[in-house]
Structure 1
Amino acid sequence: MAGTLDVNGSVLSVQSPGDTPLLWVLRDELGLTGTKYGCGVAQCGACTVLADGAAIRACVTPLEAVAGAKITTIEGLDGAHPLQAAWVARDVPQCGYCQSGQIMSAVALLAQSPQPTDAEIDAAMAGNICRCGAYQRIHDAIKDAAAAPAAQV
């Protein structure tokens, strides 16, 4: 499927077949390596990106399924999102492998629910696994970002 893909606000040319998982197009063809490969079956959340603002698992999403969508990866946040600041303030990352997927899931949550309840946070983040067990710090960072004046994204 030679064509274009709107990623992080830029329209980029891609040459991969339409059934290629978005993850591999992002990493191998476009060089956006912030999105990680974890399990390959959409169970860990490391590959989470946004398609038109909704969190999706890039490891199982074929390129043809996101034709015309606006894709946002962790690189698209440019380190300026309130969640990224909260992540640093709360010392969330340990190994860091899951963090881009965690942050992208949290971005989608805050876009949908700017002042999420504890239950909404738990539900939105349930599909993201952190081997280091930083779940409470992740939860607290999301609450902090929601309370920040710049959290409106």
Structure 2
Amino acid sequence: MNTTFPGAHFNNNTGILFSDTTIINSGTSQDLYNGERGAIDLEASIDPIKNVTFTNIDIINTQRDAIQFGYGGGFSNIVFNNIIINGTGLDGVTTSRFSGAHKGAAIYTYTGNGATTFNNLTTSNIAYPDLYYIQSGFGLTIQ
């Protein structure tokens, strides 16, 4: 999800739901723009991304990070419920165009603008030793 391209973005949405999904072998360390992407990738380039819920999502064997938040547009009312992350950083690439080297986090942010809440998060086989790479100012709540 992004606000990179022209359009209404998330200005009038009252709620978007993604549910009951398994994501396998996704994400990348180098897309067409030479950037890394998480298996779930939220990019608020221009306007905020808001009112989005992810429920009952399994993320298995990501090439880079499992869930990624980026750019300065902001994030609000982003909720993750019953998320399982098993395996990150499988391609072994640790360079980043946004920050110092990292190996594949469960949750990765390259923005300090916004917040998200995780309810019932389960992680295993996470390459990044600290599990989460969270930029200062970004609010991460795990319950």
Q: Same fold (TM over 0.5)?
A: no
TM value normalised by structure 2: 0.29
More strand by share: 2
TM value normalised by structure 1: 0.27
Q: Which entry has the higher C-alpha Rg, 1 or 2?
A: 1
Could you say which structure has the greater relative contact order, defined with CA pairs below 8 angstroms and 6 or more residues apart?
1
More helix by share: 1
